[in-house]
Amino acid sequence: MKIKNELPIIGFVLLPFIYLAFLWNHLPKTIPVHWNINGEIDRYGNKTELLLIPILLPLLTYLIFVVIPKIDPKNKLNKMGNKLQNLKFMMTTLMSILALFIIYSTKEQSLANTNYVIIIIGVLYIIIGNYFKTIKPNYFIGIKTPWTLESEYIWKETHRLGGILWFLGGFLVILLSLIFNPKLNNILFLIVTAIISIVPIVYSYILHKNQMKNVS
């Protein structure tokens, strides 16, 4: 891991911490910390809870990408080379942007439009979908089912389909966010997410059953 390659990513990790530090003395002790599906505040808490946002989003994402390749028993992730580095950069940056948005919404005490959050998640789906087909078989990142983990062929085919679904699903949730009101769009978002998550799992099982038939 080259330090010069990590500096831009570390910069994005630090942005929400810096923004939060700038706002800290201007925030009341009690702040909104959770919104319901309609974008309405449904829980207040101490402002120290805000520290969890940059920790759990950009920082944790970055640490996962740093640690996992080092403990991958098959060392497959390191063989992705620049693709893994690019994925780490984009995922960490996106999590940083999401953290900044949440902190800003807390400061304003209003989540004006939950569609903005869904648009960010849609971009995340597009990034994941674009990289699915490049992820080598491993125990940490990707669509990990008993059938993908025991067959490189099933892993490859499942991630090929998963990549297409997540890529298109990302565009779809962004498009829906631009068309429908937040309340309806939240429901549509959950439906799209369920489809792109469940279909690849079922597909990997179908491939496994077909493979077993061919063997027998």
pLDDT per residue as tens digits for the range 116-155: 889 999 999 999 999 999 998 998 899 999 999 999 999 9
Predicted pLDDT at 106? 85
- Name the pTM for this structure: 0.85
173-187: burial string, b at 16+ Cβ within 10 Å, e else: bbebbeeeebeebbe
pLDDT per residue as tens digits for the range 196-212: 999 999 999 999 999 98
* pLDDT-derived band at 112, boundaries 50, 70, 90: low
Region label for 75, one of left (φ > 0), alpha (ψ between -120 and 50) or beta (otherwise): left
Q: Which helix (H) or strand (E) holds 199?
A: helix 182-215
Q: Where are the beta strands (DSSP E) in the chain?
A: 30-35, 41-46
First to last CA, the chain: 46
Overall average pLDDT of the 80-95 stretch:
91
